[in-house]
Amino acid sequence: MKTVFINGSPKKRFSASAYFLFLQRLFTGGQTVTEKLRTPADHSRILEQLRGADAVVFCLPLYVDGIPSHVLRFMEEMEAFCRQNGLHLNVYCIANNGFIEGRQNEPLMQIFEHFCARSGLTWSGGVGIGGGVMLNVTRILFVVNIGLLALNTLLSVINTGSFFPQEAWISFAENAALLLYFNLGVLYYMIRMGCHIRKGTFSGKKYTRILIPSFVFIIFADIFFIIISLFEGGLFRGWLAKKPYEKI
């Protein structure tokens, strides 16, 4: 069984889509191929991978309640390619968005459903994930957590000769459990969808989110975007900054 994973985020590195794609691959098994879709130069390479594949999994961000335009362009080409070559793949989708409700991905899922109907492909369902940016940050925090544990262990060996600094391990376990908890909804639906991909069956449309209360999410999101805005030219992403005058 061959499954092609397509990362539809335009970001070169650290995209939330790459994180969810990594998790879904863990739970899928069989032969898997991962492709990045960023520019039209990627189209022919990805289309060739679709020959002989059983399933394709799109992992992509929600843009303005829909599909990013560069992915739409690819889908237009894919529609013609699948018709010409008589491909009947199962299509799955993992969409993530910045706001907290995963259900905001519903219009995107419907677009995929219609795309499959037009292309002669089998719409097999997807997972819509809210709070994608924040979930992506949890993986970075996990790596930082491991780094701190390693540092504490090194200091403990130097100072006391002990390879097992108890307090550091307890703190690591607590933090790791918390980060795991935030991701539980995502993990559950990905394990579930992995079973369906393996069996080639319909997994339904499922929506989940980072498992924190909305009011906590809003506070952290506000702090995050104020900091990002300051780095990117002033408050509100530079909206208040003076713009150079453009002659038309």
Ligand X SMILES: Cc1cc2nc3c(=O)[nH]c(=O)nc-3n(C[C@H](O)[C@H](O)[C@H](O)COP(=O)(O)O)c2cc1C
Q: What is the largest CA-CA distance in the chain?
A: 71
Smaller CB separation from ligand X, 73 or 198 = 73
Q: Which residues of this protein are in contact with ligand X, per CB under 6 A?
A: 9, 11, 15-17, 61-65, 96-99, 104, 132-133
Smaller CB separation from ligand X, 63 or 142 = 63
Smaller CB separation from ligand X, 55 or 210 = 210
Contact by Cβ (8 Å): 162, 142: no
The packing angle between helices 184-199 and 166-182, to 10°, is 60
Q: Minimum CB separation from ligand X for residue 9, in Å?
A: 3
Q: Minimum CB separation from ligand X for residue 193, in Å?
A: 17
Q: Minimum CB separation from ligand X for residue 134, in Å?
A: 9
Nearest to 127 by CA among 81, 96, 168, 101: 96
Q: Minimum CB separation from ligand X for residue 215, in Å?
A: 17
Distant-in-sequence, close-in-space partners of 126: CB < 8 Å, separation ≥ 6: 92, 93, 94, 95, 105, 109, 112, 193, 203, 205, 206
Smaller CB separation from ligand X, 94 or 149 = 94
Q: Which residues pair with 34 in a beta bridge?
A: 5
